[in-house]
A and B are shown apart, each in its own frame.
Chain A
Amino acid sequence: GNSVTQMEGPVTLSEEAFLTINCTYTATGYPSLFWYVQYPGEGLQLLLKATKADDKGSNKGFEATYRKETTSFHLEKGSVQVSDSAVYFCALSGGSVQGAQKLVFGQGTRLTINP
């Protein structure tokens, strides 16, 4: 079945540092890929998405490129802020008829940015 593997955390960076959170996936066909963010005490919010190979999703300075050849969707940001401290989830949907019914999530990466 479909699965997502995320870089293990927690990740701690200083403000203005470069961020990468790795995400790789296993799926048949061509799934859609997502990054979600969860702030303390809240539900998940969509951060960005990509629906086909070589698409780049971007939002709030974050970017991720759908790489089919490496089955990856790594999250990057050039200069992080304290307000980026949160838990980040990589997710996929689809790739097959059965896989289209569910969103599959990675285990989450907790990010802390120090001033």
Chain B
Amino acid sequence: EADIYQTPRYLVIGTGKKITLECSQTMGHDKMYWYQQDPGMELHLIHYSYGVNSTEKGDLSSESTVSRIRTEHFPLTLESARPSHTSQYLCASRVTGDTEAFFGQGTRLTVV
């Protein structure tokens, strides 16, 4: 069983609010990822990290930001939420190399 956790599972928030989605893993994995999943199921990579103090933007442009101050923690922040940010956000991690990734259960965000 994967030891990667996302909180909250569900969040409904008003437009303009600042939010942080939490992602933590206890496996000591170097690489971590944030994906946005649209209602049509497709996964879009929005941020990734190779390790502490490393962050990169993914393939889909996002207004969110991330940080990686500790190996186990990779939070995603939206400074000012908008209805267009409504989506499911999935966090994942894996060790270095072409190994499989482990996913959290996701955060379903609704901005009203």
Contact = CB atoms under 8 A, between A and B. Distances in A.
Interface of A: 31-32, 34, 36, 38, 41-46, 49, 51, 87, 89, 93-94, 100-103, 105, 107-108, 110
B55 interface: no
B105 A101 contact: no
Given A94-B98, A108-B43, A110-B41, A101 B50 contact: yes
B41 A46 contact: no
Nearest to B41: A108
Contact of B98 (A32, A38, A43): A32
A44 B103 contact: yes
Contacts of A51: 98
Given A51-B98, A94-B98, A101-B31, A43 B41 contact: no
A93 B98 CA distance: 6
Interface of B: 2, 6, 31, 33, 40-43, 45, 48, 50, 56, 58, 90, 92, 94, 97-106
B41 A49 contact: no
Question: B42, B43, B50, B102 — which one has the most chain A CB atoms within 10 A of its CB?
Answer: B43
B24 to A, nearest CB: 14
Given A42-B106, A43-B106, A105 B97 contact: no
A interface, by DSSP: helix, strand, loop or mixed? strand
A24 B103 CA distance: 23
B96 to A, nearest CB: 9
Nearest to A9: B41
A40 to B, nearest CB: 11
Contacts of B105: 41-43
Contact of B33 (A31, A41, A103): A103
A41 B10 CA distance: 10
B102 to A, nearest CB: 8
Given A101-B48, A103-B92, A110-B41, A43 B103 contact: yes
